[in-house]
Amino acid sequence: MTKIGHKDGLTEKLKILLVEDDELFRMGLKSVLTEYGTIDEATNNQDARRLVSENQYHIAFFELKLENESIDFNLVQKASTEKRIYTIILTAHDNDTFIEKAYSFGCNDYFVKTSDLSGIVRTVENFSFKKNEQLLQFQDFIRHKFISQDTYTIDQLRSLLVDNRNNRRPIFIEGPSGVGKTLLAEATHNFLIGNKGNFVHINCKGLSENLLESELFGHERGAFTDAKSSKIGKLKLADNGTLFLDEVATMPIKLQTALLVAIEKKQFMPVGGNRLVQSNFRLVCATNEDITQLVHEAKFREDLFYRIYKYVIYLRPLRERSGDIPLLINHFHKKSGDRRIVIRPKAMEILQKYQYPANVRDIEDIVDILLREKSGIIEITNLPSFVINNENRYFKNNTPSTLDSNVNNINNIIEEVRVGGLRKYMNNHKKMIVNRFIGLHHGKTKEAMKEMKYFSSRVYENSESLAIQE
Amino acid sequence: MITYDEEISGLFHDLMSLNCGLVSGLNLLRNKIINKEDYQEIVPLIDKRFTKIRETYKVLEQKIMEK
């Protein structure tokens, strides 16, 4: 494998194709891409077709309008789907129809030509980075610590690293309890910041407002009755590092306001203090609640939501990635250091169908139960009854059924429409859904629009506000 | 509100595209990242590009005035 020097370490040399008839623009692009690999050029469809057939490129750039002809979209599709080339349309056409057409033919990115080539360089750099050492280590973390083979999960985690290594934007981790949110937050710190700063973890749930305020912002001596000495807050401890706010949705509104100011101004006032304290940290938040719903119900500040809900990772519950269950069972089995047992395939099938309300914590418990079985060979009959019956062992009687919950939802909707009218209800929900999709696509509005099949110039690409114009 | 037909929109597109190439070429000159032989190639290309932009703009101007 050919290697070239690169600021992020050794990287495999890329093979790039430029299909562009404008010689000056091609020369400019070549000059910035040369350091990433070798570049072939074509000025018409015929030459491009031949080059795509004869070579295996990593990345291909296509201009839509060539001399006396338009780009052959079948060629773009072939490059993207058959040859699995990362295809980028690079054109002066800033038009939704062309953008939609390009994506429908399988292109990966669409850039409008400007004199600033930094966006294109960043894309190529990210593509190149996907092959480097740090990413391999991160994949190792996924395989051996996070333990997942779920493609959706792995793709998200890889993107988390690739998309955030050159910025300090907040990361938001959503998912039910026990899916590894804290583990991922720690890994995010280790891979994105390392030993340049501290990883500071605080769980916002269960702390009184005053205590949480003091924990976050610190306090001066005598600020309140028990403040016998001054204390440095978690925000300051996380300076140059990562502040992980677990269960952020439970944070009291008053503190949300103070946190918003601290994030925006990178400075805050300790409790009872009279001097501002500076701190520059990466914020990672997690919750197992539906934060968009809390915003809708005015239980979470909308402006803070827009500030922290920029790069969203959704960790799926175990029941939605049953392929990971045997891996996790095997992991906890070995980790226990206990005797070895064998789980019969039929029993494993039942284990894979169980609902795991507490997710990975349930796996650990169940492995523990199985290790205490007399028989070293686990058949269906050796499984705990709650697994065989697929019962939620924590809330046997008080969990509402799906039907009840649906009926409640409909009643809530009817009440909301009665109060505010249908138009307001639809607008609120449209905004919420659009923002949610943009969040799930990590701020890439066009990708979100593509998935929603909703193309509108009112949804503008502004990762700072993550909002739609109304 | 002024609306442009496909022909005028196309001319705008051509101008934007020509301009990107021009700026790209000028950047290469300014940043001195090309060797001497390439200068001999790029300088006349930039000169031609200025002419082409001027010509295309005159066509666009005429089309707009005709509307």
Q: Is A60 helix (H, G, I), strand (E, B) or coil?
A: strand
The answer as to whether A393 is a domain residue is no
Output the pTM of the full model: 0.60
Nearest to A92 among B17, B34, B46 (CB): B17
Instruction: Answer whether A287's CB lies under 8 Å from A251's CB.
Output: no
Share of chain A above pLDDT 90, in %: 41
A328 and A305 share one domain:
no
Does any domain span residue A175? Answer: yes
Over residues A381-401, mean pLDDT = 77
Tell me whether residue A117 is in a domain.
yes
Contacts of B34 in chain A (CB under 8 A): 27, 31
The Cα–Cα gap between A314 and A442 comes to 11
Q: Quote the pLDDT of residue A468.
A: 46
Closest-CA residue of A relative to B27 is A28
Query: Where do runs of H (alpha helix) occur along A193-319?
Result: 209-217, 234-237, 253-265, 291-296, 302-308
State the Cα–Cα distance between residues A321 and A150, nearest whole angstrom: 6
Residue A83 C-alpha, separation from nearest chain B C-alpha, in angstroms: 29
pLDDT at res. A463? 40
**A107 in the same domain as A60:** yes
Which residues lie below 8 Å from residue A195, measured CB to CB, with a gap of 6+? none
Q: Which residues in B lie closer than 8 A to residue A31 (C-beta atoms)?
A: 28, 33-34
Interchain proximity B28–A29, CB inside 8 Å = no
- Domain residue limits, chain B: 6-66
Both tokens of residue B20? Answer: 């990107």
Whether A453 shows a pLDDT value over 90: the answer reads no
In this complex, the residue of B14, B16, B46 whose CB is nearest that of residue A24 is: B46
Chain A residues within an 8 Å CB radius of B17: 22, 25, 65, 91-92, 113
Subunit contact B13:A93, Cβ cutoff 8 A: yes
Do A425 and A379 share a structural domain? no
| pLDDT (0 to 100) of residue A227 | 74
Q: Which of B17, B25, B27 sits opposite A113 (nearest CB)?
A: B17
Six token digits for residue A90: 């690079």
Which domain-ending residue is among A129, A144, A162?
A129
B24 interaction partners in chain A (CB closer than 8 Å): 24-25, 27-29, 115
Q: Are residues A147 and A250 in the same domain?
A: yes
Q: What is the pLDDT of residue A461?
A: 44
Contact of A29 with chain B, judged by CB distance below 8 Å, is answered with: yes
**What pLDDT is attached to residue A459?**
58
Q: State the Cα–Cα distance between residues A262 and A252, nearest whole angstrom.
A: 15
Q: Give the residue from B17, B48, B53 with the most A CB atoms within 10 Å of its CB, the best one to mutate.
A: B17
d(CA A38, CA A33): 8
- Considering the domain boundaries, does residue A459 fall inside one? no
| Nearest-neighbour CA in chain A from B3: distance (Å) | 15
Bigger pLDDT: A139 vs A408? A139
Closest by Cβ to B16, choosing from A24, A31, A92: A92
Return the amino acid letter for B27.
Answer: N
Higher per-residue pLDDT: A344 or A433:
A344
Of residues A177 and A224, more confidently modeled = A177
Does residue A189 sit in the same domain as residue A165?
A: yes
Among residues A91, A109, A129, the one where a domain terminates is: A129
Say if residue A186 is in the same domain as residue A122: no
Whose tokens are 């016998």? That residue is A228
* Beta-carbon pairs below 8 A across chains A and B: 51
ipTM: 0.86
Q: Specify whether A140 is located in the same domain as A288.
A: yes
Instruction: Please name which of A242, A357, A259 lies closest in space to residue A304, comparing C-alpha atoms.
Output: A259
In a domain, A91, yes or no: yes
**Residues 6+ positions from B11 with CB-CB distance below 8 Å:** B56, B59, B60, B63
A241 belongs to a structural domain: yes
The number of folded domains in chain A is 4
- pLDDT tier, A131 (very low <50, low <70, confident <90, very high otherwise): low
Whether residues A223 and A339 fall in one domain = no
With bands split at pLDDT 50, 70 and 90, how would you rate the model's confidence at A309?
very high
The range of the structural domain enclosing residue A375 comes to 324-388
DSSP state of A249: G
Question: Which of the two residues, A309 and A123, has the higher pLDDT score?
Answer: A309
Whether the pLDDT of residue A45 is over 50: the answer is: yes
- Cα nearest neighbour of B17 on chain A: A92
pLDDT given at position A377 = 92
The beta-carbon neighbor of A31 closest among B16, B28, B49 is B28
More confident residue, A108 or A396: A108
pLDDT at position A151:
82
**Is A150 contained in some domain?**
yes
What's the whole-number average pLDDT of chain A? Answer: 84
Same domain, yes or no: A285 and A335: no
A114 neighbourhood in chain B, CB within 8 Å: 20
pLDDT tens digits, residue range B29-63?
Answer: 887 666 777 778 889 999 999 999 999 999 999 99
- Residues A363, A332: Cα–Cα separation, whole Å: 8
The answer to whether B43 faces chain A, any CB pair under 8 Å, is: no
Strand A3-4 versus strand A14-19 pairing type: unpaired
Least reliable range by pLDDT among A47-51, A141-145, A393-397 = A393-397
Q: What is the pLDDT of residues A258-302, one digit of tens each?
A: 999 999 999 999 988 888 999 999 999 999 999 988 998 889 999
Mean pLDDT lowest among A145-154, A195-204, A407-416, B13-22? A407-416
Containing B27, the helix (H) or strand (E) segment is helix B6-30
Reported as a single tens digit per residue, the pLDDT across A179-214 is 989 999 998 898 888 878 899 999 998 888 888 999
pLDDT tens digits for range A318-349: 998 989 999 999 989 888 877 888 999 999 99
User: Does A362 lie in the same domain as A428?
Assistant: no
What's the rounded mean pLDDT across residues A236-248?
94
Provide the β-strand partners of residue A11: A4
**The pLDDT of residue A403 is above 60:** no
Nearest CA in chain A to B50: A24
Say how far apart CA B51 and CA B63 lie, in whole Å.
19
Do A49 and A151 fall into the same domain? no
* Residues A124, A172 within the same domain: no
Q: Tell me which of A122 and A179 has the higher pLDDT.
A: A179
Burial A193-203 (b: 16+ CB within 10 A, else e): beeebbbbbbb
Residue A466 forms part of a structural domain:
no
